[in-house]
Structures are given as C-alpha cells and as structure tokens.
Amino acid sequence: MTDKLLPCPFCGGKAGYGRGGADFSRHGWNAGCVNGHAVSPDMETKAEAREWWNRRPKPRRSPSPQSREATPQSDALPSPQQREESR
C-alpha cells in the first residue's frame, strides 16, 4: 500500500491531501485535485480519503463515444482548461 494519490481525473494534475476541507465542523482528511476540480468529503483518516479518491470512477475518454454513457457526477466541475492526454 502506498499513500500515493491518483492524478486528477479531470485535468490529470496532481492530487493532494487536505485537512478540514470545507466542513469545519469536522476535522478530517480529504483528498482532492490541487487545481480544485474535485475534492473528497472529509474522512476520518488519510487512508480513507486516499481510498475514496483512488476509487472514484475515472471519466476515461474511450475511442468509441457510444461505448459508455458519461457518468453523472455532481462534482464534475467544468475544467477551465481541458487537457487532452496525448500519450
């Protein structure tokens, strides 16, 4: 096990840990995109925050557009700069 966070599914950027988050009534760990695209809810432990983040479905762009319906995600904020992965 590692405490590495997967890159942001929206921008491919780094993800990091935070504490407290938006909900200051609780002091938990959360994990989210450093560019603010998405953030996990507050979790009790860092590991939980990591699990939540790494488990979240990734909106992969598949070659065939009709192969999968876009997953409705409330936290799928429009990214200011959509970067295409060209690798």
Instruction: Answer whether 79's CB lies under 8 Å from 8's CB.
Output: no
Rank residues 33 and 43 by Cβ distance to Zn ion and give the closer one: 33
Rounded least distance, CB 47 to Zn ion, Å: 22
Is 62 or 81 the residue whose CB approaches Zn ion more closely?
81
Which is nearer to Zn ion, 48 or 76 (by Cβ)?
76
| Cα distance between residue 75 and residue 40, in whole Å | 9
The Cβ of residue 34 has, within 10 Å, a number of other Cβ atoms equal to 13
CB of 31 to Zn ion, least distance (A): 12
The tokens describing 34, both together, are: 């450093």
Residues near Zn ion (CB under 5 A) are: 8, 10-11, 13, 33, 35, 37
Q: Name the minimum Å distance from CB 42 to Zn ion.
A: 19
CA Rg value for the chain: 14
- Please tell me whether residue 35 adopts helix, strand or coil conformation: coil
